[in-house]
Amino acid sequence: MFGSEANQEAERCWHRSERRTTRGAMTSPRLNQTVAFLGAGNMAGALIRGLLASGALLPSEILCTDVRKPRLEELKTKYGVEGLTSNEEAARRANVVVLSTKPQVFDRLLPEVSRGIRGDSLVVSIAAGIPVSAIEAHLPEGTRVVRTMPNTPAIVDAGATAIARGTHATDEDIELCTAIFESVGRVVVLDEYLLDAVTGLSGSGPAYIFLIIEALADAGVKVGLHRESALLLAAQTVLGSAKLLLETGEHPGKLKDMVTSPGGTAIAGLHTLEAGGLRTTLINAVETATARAKQLGEEMGKKLEKK
The answer to the question of residue 296 being in a domain is: no
Q: What is the pLDDT of residues 113-160, one digit of tens each?
A: 999 999 999 999 999 889 999 999 999 999 999 999 999 999 999 999
Closest Cα to residue 95, out of 75, 116, 126, 65?
116
Last residue of a domain, one of 151, 167, 197: 197
The answer to the question of residue 305 being in a domain is: no
Asked if residues 62 and 48 have their Cβ atoms less than 8 Å apart, the reply is yes
Same domain flag for 128 and 29: yes
Same domain flag for 30 and 178: yes
The answer to the question of residue 180 being in a domain is: yes
The answer to the question of residue 186 being in a domain is: yes
User: What angle do helix axes 171-182 and 3-17 make, rounded to 10 degrees?
Assistant: 40
Amino acid code (one letter) for 86: S
Same domain flag for 97 and 152: yes
What CATH number is attached to the domain comprising 232?
1.10.3730.10
How would you classify residue 26: left for phi > 0, otherwise alpha for psi between -120 and 50, otherwise beta? Answer: beta
The answer to the question of residue 297 being in a domain is: no
Chain mean pLDDT for the chain: 91
Same domain flag for 155 and 245: no
Residue 192 sits at the vertex; the CA angle it makes with 2 and 112, to the nearest 5 degrees, is: 160
Residue 63 sits at the vertex; the CA angle it makes with 60 and 64, to the nearest 5 degrees, is: 145
Domain range for 246: 205-286
The answer to the question of residue 298 being in a domain is: no
Residue 90 sits at the vertex; the CA angle it makes with 84 and 92, to the nearest 5 degrees, is: 150
Given this model, what pLDDT does residue 307 score? 62
Same domain flag for 185 and 210: no
Same domain flag for 111 and 222: no
The answer to the question of residue 303 being in a domain is: no
Q: What is the pLDDT of residues 211-236, one digit of tens each?
A: 999 999 999 999 999 999 999 999 99
